[in-house]
Structure 1
Amino acid sequence: MLLADPGPSAATAMTSTAASASPLERAVDGSVGRLLGVPGDPTALVPDGLPSLVGALWPVALGGVVVLLALLALLRGAPVARAVRAAWAVAALGLALAAAAVAVPVGLDDGVLVHGSAGPGVSWAWLGLLTAAVLGADRLQARIARVSFGWRQPVVALLAAVALAVAVLQLGGWAWAARTGQLALGTVDRPLVQAVARQSQGAPDSARVLALQVQADGAVQWQLLRGDGPLLVDVAAAVQARELTGALRAPDVAAVDDATAQVDALVARLTALAGGDVAADLGALAVADVLLPPLDDRTAPDGPDARARAELESRLDATPGLQRVTDNEAGTLWRVAAPADGPPRS
């Protein structure tokens, strides 16, 4: 659990798993990539439109400059030699931590085994490398000025120019990718659950919302929401780790518990339009509303995802025990018909 990300477990498709991956891409995916500051899939760091060779070198360019400066710092003598070596020891410790993290399974993501995050270890390693590089460059101008003009001055000037250019280009590329929406990380500035459903989530009912997400192939994923979207206590690493049992390096997937199996069966009934009135079964799970979230803004309105959502929406409209309440930017919401003994409660 300590080696996992704080949020939900997510599997990343590394380029080294592809048969067409080049030797450089396979190296970037492993320990060399972690040394150069790439903790995961490097393709997310490459802006669109770059040539193939530039795109392959882009994720490791800044890390390569830092590692080169840290290596040159090892040539320094007293009084910083010990500090430089200590910084390299810190970097080695960080790389060892990153290697240990990626070797430990921490959860599942749609049936795919998820390993620990190399991010903290890579950050620790870069702390050591940056420290070594800074110590190596300390009073560099004064030391160069003490020797006669020769090859040292042009080499130092070239290294400084390359380091500055790489830093500016990479930071500018990341800023441009974020501005144009190329990065996977984004923010949502709208409610995930409608206000009428959030009223049911509060006291005294403390009901839950069953959110359904349909894929293009017809597969349906579900979540039971107790607030305006998933809560960290529902998807944290501690929760995801419960899905694994057995040996640390070769875990087994834990059997589905009775509560999850009950929801799976009920969702199957909803999506297949079978089984008659579902109000009583949803009420037994303290579900007061069923939510079908909207499509992503980048989804084609006539694509397979849109058609699958429209089909599921029509099935939910025809399901006995569900009454459509609203359809807005947060999605389409159905209210569960109250059973004879009152509204569903937790």
Structure 2
Amino acid sequence: MSVSLTLKNITRRYVKDNEEFLAVSNVNLEVKDGEFLTFLGPSGCGKTTTLRMIAGFETPSSGQILLGDQDVTKIPANERRMGFVFQNYALFPHMKIFDNVAYGLKIRNESSDAIKSKVREALAMVGLEKAEHRYPNQLSGGEQQRVALARVLVLRPKVILMDEPLSNLDAKLRLHMRTEIRRIQQELQLTCLYVTHDQKEALTMSDRIMVMNHGKIEQIGTPMKLYDDPATAFVADFIGQANLIPGKLLSIENNIGTIDVNGRKITARMGVLNPPKVGGNALLVVRPENLLPAETENGLAVEISNALFEGDRIDYLFKLLNTDSSKTYSMSIPFLPGAQLISAGTKLNASFVPQAGVLLNAD
């Protein structure tokens, strides 16, 4: 598969109150043709700044942006053949839907017949064939976002960039639009870069996810890879829920490490990208859904502090025994009819199979 977009050592600096602020630091990335890549991270991590540099709305302080083999670092945004879907739709309220979608084609001076054909094709792609004579304020939020997407698709861009396009929609509509955007992207084999801070959006829509923090890349990988084998504590905690439990690595055998957690020997698989060293500080990463209240050899000694009924599951909050730490962790158990809640104050083993935990370097 060929490379559609390449970032080489992209950095963006700002100066504020005579102090330099590094928004994006030395980002390197290759995006393949037809790939859906999500930039994921908390507010202020540099994901939107990176997207805006790719679009041409901002200029990197240093580094290169290549579209295919072409260096577009200093080429104006309107000459990059990229489409940008904004968070707030950015539709013209005084124009009908047809004219909103046709706007870019008219600027290109395309013929009226070509415009009519392309606009109707684009509206059909997003399921709005019958809306061309309506105005934006006559459409729902989800429909307006689909118009914004059609306005980009009609220009046949090489790359589509989306900056938190679903953040203004209600929860049910966001779920629907996730499916629609992914369906269109796959059907048309579009290269798509998508910015969000919503981990569920990233996990359900992406071929790969780039997790960013403080302007740097923490990890890039498939959703399953990031969830199952996080490289850092930040990635583990940001992608889904995770218990991060400190200990000392005692030994390694067949890629399974044994750590000491408050006097108990616990085993888990070694992290691939950031493993701890024998004798050093380790961090056990284990997801709440991988813990069970069971008496096995591979279990944490805990005391239940609270139970939260979530409908399909019960989330138990617990503290580790034999420690002065007051930190709370969680265990998530599927709810079965007739199940009884475990009372606060109950002491038990929170157990897991070694392959369900990952050991990271904590030094």
Q: TM-score range by the shorter chain?
A: under 0.3
Q: Of Structure 1 and Structure 2, which has the larger fraction of its residues in strand?
A: 2
Q: Of Structure 1 and Structure 2, which has the larger fraction of its residues in helix?
A: 1
Q: TM-score, normalised by structure 2?
A: 0.21
When Rg is computed on C-alpha atoms for both structures, the one with the higher figure is 1
Q: TM-score, normalised by structure 1?
A: 0.21
